[in-house]
Amino acid sequence: MPLPMGQHCDGRGGACAASRHIRSTVFWCLDAAPMLAHRPFVKMNGLGNEILVLDLRHEPEDVPAAAARALARPGVLPFDQAMVLYPPRRADTAAFVRILNSDGSESGACGNGTRCIAAYEAGRIGERHVLFESAAGLLDCVMQPDGQVTVDMGAPRLGWDAIPLARPVADTSAVQIEGFASLGPASMVSMGNPHAVFFVPDANAVDVEALGATLEHHPLFPERANISFAQVLSPDHILLHVWERGAGRTRACGTAACATGVSTARTGRTGRKVRVTLPGGDLVIDWRASDGHVLMTGPVALEFTGTLTSDMITEAA
């Protein structure tokens, strides 16, 4: 395979390494193609957050990062997150969930995706209550009579080392980030994935793409971070725009809404139950006082179903 334009094998490893990476990416996709071909998929969304559901419980197979990136590209099966279902590790759960971002990286949590797989599984088995396990822990889901889904997202992690941050911080609810003093301090929260929430006077005026893309990779975040810009409209209503780690700007992010609800309550800006308005619609976030768990309620939508083909995985490699 030829090297990318403008590169040559200089004997010092740089361009050769780039060439090896490209070949490796293609081989991963080619290796994955026959294993994942003919598997059914379900395309859903939660408030416009594009979700791909792959149910691999009957024939488990790894989904390499390169295959996820190929599937997510325009013209194939664009998604923000893929929810991959594997056989349960616990007898009381429906599945173990692996979450992949559109760039192939893994995430410990995805609120909108969890609502989607809850609706998928509830419809499949005819039950209102479904329990999943992910890398971040258990996800308890309940279908509401109006078709919305409530997910217990667990308790937020507020310690600097649990979020995680690159250095000790005494108060994670107000952290000034070097180089971004004009934004004011951010509130740091983990909902199974790291979040930084900035409070702004006008969320619609923020250049989410420029700021989010830079802040996601700030040295303060060793695992990168989701970046949110929150405008408090009232003690129970927040306007929110989000740059998602590994996916970019999305129409909605459930864990960001949860992190924002925790942040506004923690700093006295709102109560513990709020309505969060995102570009895709509204979520209700309730930071329950009795046990500190965060409950997220919102809608889901089925878009279409289909079957993976080898071309879907290899064409964009």
The whole-number pLDDT of residue 313 equals 85
- The encoded tokens of residue 300 equal 């889901």
The whole-number pLDDT of residue 314 equals 76
Q: Which domains does the chain have, with CATH numbers?
A: 40-153+302-311 (3.10.310.10), 181-292 (3.10.310.10)
Check pLDDT > 50 for residue 317: no
Angle at 243 between CA 116 and CA 269, to 5 degrees: 90
The whole-number pLDDT of residue 29 equals 46
Check pLDDT > 70 for residue 23: no
Q: Report phi then psi at 239, rounded to 5.
A: -100, 130
Helix/strand/coil for 228: strand
C-alpha 51 chain-centroid distance? 10
Q: Could you give the percent of the chain with pLDDT greater than 70?
A: 89
Side-chain-side CA neighbours of 1 within 13 Å: the count stands at: 16
Check pLDDT > 90 for residue 27: no
Check pLDDT > 80 for residue 240: yes
- Cα dist. 307→42, 123, 245 in Å? 9, 19, 28
The whole-number pLDDT of residue 30 equals 47
* Tens digits of residue pLDDT in 134-189: 998 999 999 999 999 999 999 999 999 999 999 999 999 999 999 999 999 999 99
> Which one of 116, 141, 253, 258 is the catalytic residue?
253
Check pLDDT > 60 for residue 82: yes
258 counts as catalytic:
no
C-alpha 108 chain-centroid distance? 8
Mean pLDDT for 279-303 is 98
* Tens digits of residue pLDDT in 100-122: 999 999 998 999 999 999 999 99
Check pLDDT > 90 for residue 7: no
Instruction: Tell me the C-alpha distance between 287 and 119, whole Å.
Output: 22
Helix/strand/coil for 253: coil
Mean pLDDT for 123-135 is 96
- Residue 52: its H or E element: strand 49-55
The whole-number pLDDT of residue 257 equals 98
110 counts as catalytic:
yes
* Tens digits of residue pLDDT in 254-268: 999 999 999 999 999
Instruction: Tell me the C-alpha distance between 199 and 213, whole Å.
Output: 18
Mean of the per-residue pLDDT values of the chain? 90
Check pLDDT > 90 for residue 44: yes
> Which one of 110, 116, 141, 258 is the catalytic residue?
110
Residue 134's nearest CA partner among 112, 150, 110 is 110
The whole-number pLDDT of residue 129 equals 97
- Residue 22: its H or E element: helix 14-36
- Residue 248: its H or E element: strand 248-249
Q: Report phi then psi at 277, rounded to 5.
A: -100, 120
Q: Report phi then psi at 96, rounded to 5.
A: -95, 130
* Per-residue three-class SS string for 176-199: CCCCCHHHCCEEEEECCCEEEEEE
Asked whether the beta carbons of 135 and 145 are under 8 A apart, the reply is no
The whole-number pLDDT of residue 87 equals 98
- Rounded to a whole number of angstroms, the distance between the first and last alpha carbons of the chain is 13
Q: Could you give the percent of the chain with pLDDT greater than 90?
A: 85
Q: Are strands 186-190 and 194-199 parallel, antiparallel or unpaired?
A: antiparallel
The whole-number pLDDT of residue 35 equals 85
The whole-number pLDDT of residue 243 equals 98
- Cα dist. 168→89, 162, 175, 198, 264 in Å? 34, 11, 11, 19, 22
Task: Tell me the pTM.
Answer: 0.87
Q: Report residue 15's pLDDT band, with 50, 70 and 90 as the boundaries.
A: very low
The whole-number pLDDT of residue 6 equals 32
Task: Specify binding-site residues for substrate.
Answer: 49, 81, 101, 111-112, 193, 226, 244-245, 254-255
